[in-house]
Structure 1
Amino acid sequence: METFKGLWTSENGDGTYVTSLSNIPMDVLNSEQVLVQVFYSSLNYKDALSSSGHRGITRNFPHIPGIDAAGIVINDPMGKFKPGSQVIITGFDLGMNAHGGLAEYVSVPWNWIIKLPSGLTLEKSMQIGTAGLTAGMAVLALQQNGIVPSDGPIVVSGATGGLGMCSILLLKHLGYEVIAIIGKKELHGFLKSIGVDGIIDREEFLQETSKALYSMRFTGAIDTVGGDTLIKILKSLKAGGSVAACGMAASIDLNLQIYPFILRGVRLLGIYSADSPLELKQKVWNKFSKEWNFPLDNIVKTIHLEKAPKIMQDMLAGKTSGRYLVKTIG
């Protein structure tokens, strides 16, 4: 086998970028790393940025995008994994400055790899993917800071995205009351159907005159957008509340006074799933294989590789919702 199929992002002569399903030479992969045959991947906003030529995500092109992959080990020169082992790869530099998982094969360092826990399938692991893993880390952080279902509602921003919807389903599975902040009014009914207890329109949420503090509405939060939404959430938390911050879709800036922290004891918890220690990733994946094992089919659409470039364009245009599972074989 001299080539394999995968998405290939390359730069045109005019400085634009194109991503297409291509036959890629096997020698673009590192023969000194673990070779994995990929059966499933998923689509994330970071993949869409990489496939559009965003130099803040990927420095060198041509390139295979895809920050998620699940498959079987073909060869491990280090001998850490036996051929045929089922594995998960997410984060680190996968799909950013190392060739990614939106292809039939990928090669990665052995210490980027998680052995698939019993109780999970390769397909289910990529329904979860980086979005679900990040949601799991956010929920774990809230739990570790003492937030329990009986304390009151948890608010989730960016609730129609993959991370937001995974957060909602996990929180509901664990018995929390969930409030969703969304900008897509046409998805109100769908969010109600997956268990959301209340919905706040994003524009209305942000229209209120700026104050040092707002009335205490939420016990905790998972924020996926940053900016003014995160600021308003922090100012609206109950005393001792926590917000797990894991996104910056709206803004990287946080123009905030210290009042929520010193007058209400609010905690801002940073979630960084990509470069988290392998031990933490393994802990969260193990939870998804056991006590956090719940169905995701109602928020996941399954596609094949050739459909992925168009879906990623739609992601950048804000036209998608939920999760996209990508079949890379067959």
Structure 2
Amino acid sequence: MEKFSALLLQETDENVTHSIQEITTDQLSEGDVLIKTSYSSINYKDSLAVQKKGGVIRSYPMIPGIDVSGTVVSSSNDSFKPGDSVLVTGYGLGVSHTGGFSEYVRVPSEWVVPLPAELTEKAAMVLGTAGFTAALCIDGLEQHGLSENKNASILVTGASGGVASLSIGMLKKAGYTNITALTRKKESEAALKQLGASEVLLLEDFMPEKIRPLGKQDFDFVLDTVGGEVLAAALPLISYGGSAAICGNAGGIGLNTTVLPFILRGVNLLGIDSVNVEMTKRKAIWKRMAAEWAIADTALVNEITLQEAPQTFAALQQGAHIGRTIIKFS
């Protein structure tokens, strides 16, 4: 195969550099399925991957990109044939295994999800890891009572980010009518209401001077993408028997709280991981995203080329990014 383009990370003594280079398949990690990339997407985790101490990548050189959709070029596994449309998210992709910011990706067949018939390769990456994570959060909350009340009060934190904005769209699509979006970006209020938020709260108005162990029971469920002090402030506001699904740490990995919401109100704290989900559940969640939670056409999306990716990395790190950014490969 001729050379092809990829965004390659390399480590120096003082920094991690990234540049688009021409490489060969010999520089891809091992796997039994070779995929020609159609689209990838840029997640917050990818913006950490290009930093020296981002805590994502430990071995260089590496191609980042934790998502990819495309067509199978070759496979030694009979489950996949040339021309099949597929997607891959999570596992070690773009972390310990060369990832999606490349015109070709090679992965183990155990990681590959056949693209649901209702989804295009573009739509799959509009959703990507962010959508998959959002869907896992909603699925977790539904298993803890959300599905029984379409008018339940739901707080979604970090609302202008990829996971949260897709969560709002999916919740609206699923018929939930009482969705509160929490954001620090006043300029995103109109877009969030268009996505499905019935109310938008600004972070400056939400955060108290001092977080009390228990507060008014304002929300039945919380979908938290931020962590840190935002999650600590939300937990005391959850109604009796309610639940919080947590999936992010942009606000910090610490959680300064008390046991009172859990032992006096029976609140459930649901940790959501999207990386190592077993394949049966993975396929089931993608099927729901392709059908009853299909929102790719209404999501906040920006389409770019691989050459434009560094600007998105910077915007994510500066907290200036809204919605989803996907990379189109020719």
Q: Judge conservation of contact 1:151–1:219 (CA < 8 Å) in 2.
A: no
Aligned to 1:100: 99
CA distance in 2 between counterparts of 1:301 and 1:9 reads: 23
2:116 is matched with 117
In structure 2, what is the equivalent of residue 244 of structure 1?
Answer: 245
Matched, 1:169 2:147: no
Separation in 1, partners of 2:299, 2:289:
17
Which residue identity lines up with residue 222 of structure 1 in the other structure?
A: L
Residue equivalent to 2:228? 227
Equivalents in 2 of 1:32, 1:213: separation in Å? 51
User: Structure 1 residues 207, 325: closer, same or farther in 2, change over 3 A?
Assistant: same
Q: CA deviation at 1:2?
A: 3.3
Mapped to 1, the partners of 2:153 and 2:34 lie a distance apart of 45
- The aligned amino acid for 2:259 is I
TM-score (norm 1): 0.95
The residue that corresponds to 2:183 in the other structure is: 182
Supply the AA of the counterpart residue of 1:301. N
Per the TM alignment, residue 118 of structure 1 is displaced from its structure 2 partner at its CA by 1.0
Shift, 1:187, TM fit: 1.3
Post-superposition shift, 1:77? 2.2
Query: Which residue identity does 1:142 align to in structure 2?
Result: L
Mean CA deviation greater in 238-247 or 46-55: 46-55
Q: Which residue of 2 aligns with 1:197?
A: 198
Using structure 2 for the length normalisation, give the TM-score.
0.95
Instruction: Summarize deviations over 1:108-165 as a string: whole Å, max 9, x none.
Output: 1111110111111111100100000000000011111111344521000000000010
User: Which amino acid in the other structure matches residue 263 of structure 1?
Assistant: L
State which drifts further: 90-99 or 314-323. Answer: 314-323
Number of the residue aligned with 1:326? 327
Partner of 1:154: 154
Q: Per-residue deviation at 1:32? A: 4.7
Tell me the CA shift for residue 208 of structure 1: 3.9
Number of the residue aligned with 2:208: 207
Q: Percent identity?
A: 38
How many Å separate the matches in 1 of 2:197 and 2:30? 47
Structure 2: 5+ residue stretches without partners: none
Distance of aligned partners of 1:263 and 1:92 in 2 relative to their CA distance in 1, 3 Å threshold: same
Matched, 1:313 2:314: yes
> Letter of the aligned partner of 1:211 in structure 2?
R
| Structure 1 Cα separation of the partners of residues 258 and 322 of structure 2 | 33
What is the aligned partner in structure 2 of residue 74 from structure 1? 73
> Secondary structure of the residue that 1:111 maps to in structure 2?
helix
What is the number of equivalent residue pairs in this alignment?
328
Instruction: In structure 1, list runs of 5 or more residues that go unmatched.
Output: none
Contact 2:174 2:292 in 1 (8 A): no
Distance 1:68 1:32, change over 3 A: closer
Asked if structure 1 preserves the Cα contact closer than 8 Å seen for 2:173 and 2:292, the reply is: no
User: Do the aligned partners of residues 32 and 155 (structure 1) sit closer, same or farther apart at CA in structure 2, a change above 3 Å counting?
Assistant: closer
Could you say if the C-alpha distance between residues 264 and 123 of structure 1 is closer, same or farther in structure 2, counting changes exceeding 3 Å?
same
RMSD: 1.5
